[in-house]
Chain A
Amino acid sequence: MESFGYLMQGFAVALTPYNLLWCFIGVFLGTVIGILPGLGPAATIAMLLPLTFQMNPTSAVIMLAGIYYGSKYGGSTTSILLNVPGESASVVTCFDGYQMARQGRAGAALGVSAIASFIAGTFGVVGLMLVAPPLAKFALSFSSPEYFALMCLGLAMVVLLAGKSMIKALLAMMVGLWIAGMGTDLFSEASRFTFGHAELLDGVDFVVVAIGVFALGEVLGNMEIREGARMLPVPKGLRNLLPTLQDLKDCRFAFLNGSVVGFIIGVLPGAGSTIASFISYGIEKAVSRRPEKFGTGVPEGVAAPEGANNAETGGAMVPLLTLGIPGSGTTAILLAAFILWGLRPGPLMIQDNPTLFWGLVASMYVGNVMLLVLNLPLVPLFAQILRLPAYTLYPFIFGISIVGVYSVSGSLFDTWMLALFGLLGYAMRRLEYPSAPLILGFVLGDIMERALRQSLMMSQGDLTILVARPMSATMLFLAVLILLAPLFRKADALRVKAIAEGS
């Protein structure tokens, strides 16, 4: 096996003390910025970029990549503990992770998330190593109709996120789609729903919506019911803070699901890790034997999306390294870094710089192990945060939410928007509207609209382009199936009832 020899050379590069140190610095920084809401890996890498000019490119890329995948590990921490998504990709982790924390199982949730991250992160690297070139070809075959179909498939997940009332879920999703439409229309340059504010020309930032609706909405709601007097239970003893064997058993399929879905969606330049985590959560719920328990704090509801957003980093490296095509903000800045270091990113980079590629791959194996070792002992430590009394914890959540949002844009306008979305989140809780469909609509709306309009421009208005291509037709068919599933279930229930009454 040729690549095995290369991989050994890669380990020889990655395991030098100098590179090990940079790898550790990278994953450590990544964990930290992952934990802090707002500031993401793209911003951190951009800020550190000038410091890497003096380093050799292999060490530099090992460190910067470490920040990238390390941030995915850390992102789940605040989602689980405080319902504050640390990164956009970890918003799905809030659904079950925060519920687990409320039941005193924060440690288990954090542990499951670290293990899922490790398994899927490693899977992503294996994928990157073994199937990168053929997979890059697959990614190129994806055109706008396929992206539209993929987004439809994602949007169909609303059925699974609905909770009690489907109507309310659909309404929330519509609001999400509407918010996604704010800003400048890419195709006509028209401003939509900017209300004369230049700040809204670029649309609303994901962080503002997610932190507002989830974190602030939750805190406002809790303050009102004066739950604050009662502290969240945090069990004593290290053993009780880690996931049980049963938890891990429940997550068996989720580990695999998250790994595969995350990696494949990561390879597509136009999708992204938030979508990957939504879809893998949806799949997990669809095939689960206890779908009704999702959203109340099941470990597999944490493992699937956390796995997906970690496997996504390995996937996102595929088009970057094999084609020189960045698929996300973070990989775009890595691409800029390659140019600044004098490497020529593109289809021939692996061939030209085998040491760099294989050194990076090997360092990602090492880095994932480091992250697991780094994160697991932190679990009990972080879980202690919940021991804080409400009068300390709630202002603390407000504080980090505001700082998080301000750190992204540096604009006070966004802080006001955060307040607005906090009130929206609160109102939705009061009126029992689920917030997950809103986020789903918001995340998918923009790409979905774009893909549809691109498709129709390509076909000059002919709608059949959406179903004429086998891959998009398959995905659209699956989406319809998912949408109809509740009807089948209802019909089935009626049938069972009829039989019962008949006998």
Chain B
Amino acid sequence: MSILNNLINGISLGSVYAIIALGYTMVYGIAKMLNFAHGDVIMVGAYVCFFATGQFGLPPLAGVLLAMVVCTVLGMVIERLAYKPLRQSASLAVLITAIGVSYFLQNSALLLWKSDPKVFTSVVGTGSVKLFGGELTITHVAIVTVLACVVIMLALTWFTGRTKMGKAMRACSEDKAAAQLMGIDVDRTISMTFAIGSALAAIAGVLLCSTYPSLMPTTGSLPGIKAFTAAVFGGIGSIPGAMLGGILLGIIEIFAKAFNTNISDAVVFAVLIVVLLVKPTGLLGKAVREKV
């Protein structure tokens, strides 16, 4: 039964990674940049929900919605102030800026909310479903997390494939200049991508802290890196790839932890290295052929 338990925990953790990875992969696909501040947006989302439900007594759902609104605005502001002026710059400059924004968010959180860990109250309670006479326990949080992940995946697939904004995003990811000449406002499309990615980050933050209730200014940092790994693992730029990468990474991590807690992260990254050696574009990534 412990294998099944681990599998369920792995899928649940992987779902959180997947939701975060979607933000990385969408922004990369469209703006062709790695937004390393994405992990810290998660942390901000979790804090907003924490204060909204804890101190202001809002119902959990309202707390999540408020976190999404705040993160959406935050994501768009970060893009507008930090990344947009660098649109024509070298990608290295944007990368360093993203790392800068990440530290800025962490330290602002430290200043505002102090370093002591807050105990996050799960938005779906602490109940669980017991199966097989109590041998298998599935927490409500795990169920909600996996469901949220599936719903988000389906909604995003539909959004990018079937709506005009989604199509504009795919057009921008293929050829920005051509999209612009067809009358698509690339700046607005990129801003929209950040908005969607950041709203998802808020959901991920709340779900993450509902499972692992200790909330600190650095809470988003490691899950952010792991989710980035998941996005690369699945093939960066690909939405199904981010999902697959996230869930596999979560499962691998939990099983490695069950085997030996100290080396779990090493195992995760070792798997990434092996996958990239065998398939450099990631599991579902498309090979980009250089034109000769």
Asked if A and B are interacting partners, one says no
Seen from chain B, the residues whose Cβ lies within 8 Å of a Cβ on chain A are none
Seen from chain A, the residues whose Cβ lies within 8 Å of a Cβ on chain B are none
